[in-house]
Chains A and B, each alone.
Chain A
């Protein structure tokens, strides 16, 4: 990966919707050269995919909560069962398996706090193997470019 690839990746993270022609012009590349580089980055797995960015609040989802979940009976619960059940909850946006104070980290969206409480009580607390749960309400979020 060279400097141009890094700049290309950065530009694609910001906006993957622009045409390769426009993108190339900004980076001083021809349209076919831009296309080839994107293709190569995709094949190398550097680009995991593309994501539609929506304004959650404008769509009525005013609350985002991160939950740290500890499994109750380590060893006796099936991780597969827990993962399958938690993945199926529509309000759960991401599930990460972590090592440390908690076993799983979930990102949950809800319309408001009463709606979140409903999701927590009916969906999360009833998950197979769910033990201790810690909730932190998201106030602000920034995604940075990273070491590119």
Chain B
């Protein structure tokens, strides 16, 4: 479906998402017209979804990030749906993932400081339905971020 020229475009674009289509074309060694057509096609196919800004929560005063790994009580028929629906309502939850493995769900939570985290944990997390176990991983540093796909 994709050829080497498409992949080349995506590689450069991934590395520098702010490049204009003209600059992208130049790096990938093709005319702007050709690049624009290829990019439009990949957007139509849903391969390229768009470019989004990434927020630095620490810069906005959210110094604490905690990853909560949660096991749900699967004897409850609607445990997943009920849990997810309630978790989505917690404003400090920035990521929600479901897994096949030892962990069922993972939530990324941000907080201003440890006291704030403690407050969110008690008031908004422990009250979520059908939790059977919670493990917390506290975020220390990002070593590699959003490197993209190995195209």
Contacts and interface: CB of A to CB of B under 8 A. Distances in A.
Interface of A: 1, 9, 12-17, 44-56, 58-59, 61, 66, 68, 83, 86-87, 90-102, 104-105, 109, 134-144, 146-148
Interface in B54-72: 54-57, 59-60, 62, 67, 69
Contacts of B32: none
A140 B57 CA distance: 23
A28 to B, nearest CB: 20
Contact of A144 (B93, B145, B146): B93
B52 A96 contact: no
Given A59-B10, A136-B101, 18 more contacts: A9-B55, A12-B52, A50-B52, A51-B53, A53-B48, A53-B51, A54-B14, A58-B45, A58-B46, A93-B146, A93-B149, A97-B140, A101-B137, A109-B150, A139-B100, A140-B97, A142-B88, A147-B91
B113 interface: no
B147 A136 contact: no
Contacts of B136: 100
A144 B94 contact: yes
Contacts of B14: 52, 54
A94 B145 contact: yes
B135 interface: yes
Given A48-B54, A91-B150, A136 B103 contact: yes
Contact of B137 (A12, A52, A100): A100
B140 to A, nearest CB: 4
Contacts of B93: 144, 146
B47 A99 contact: no
B17 interface: yes
23 contacts: A12-B52, A13-B54, A15-B52, A16-B53, A47-B53, A47-B56, A49-B54, A56-B149, A59-B151, A91-B150, A96-B143, A97-B142, A98-B138, A99-B139, A100-B135, A101-B69, A104-B143, A137-B99, A141-B98, A144-B94, A146-B55, A146-B92, A148-B55
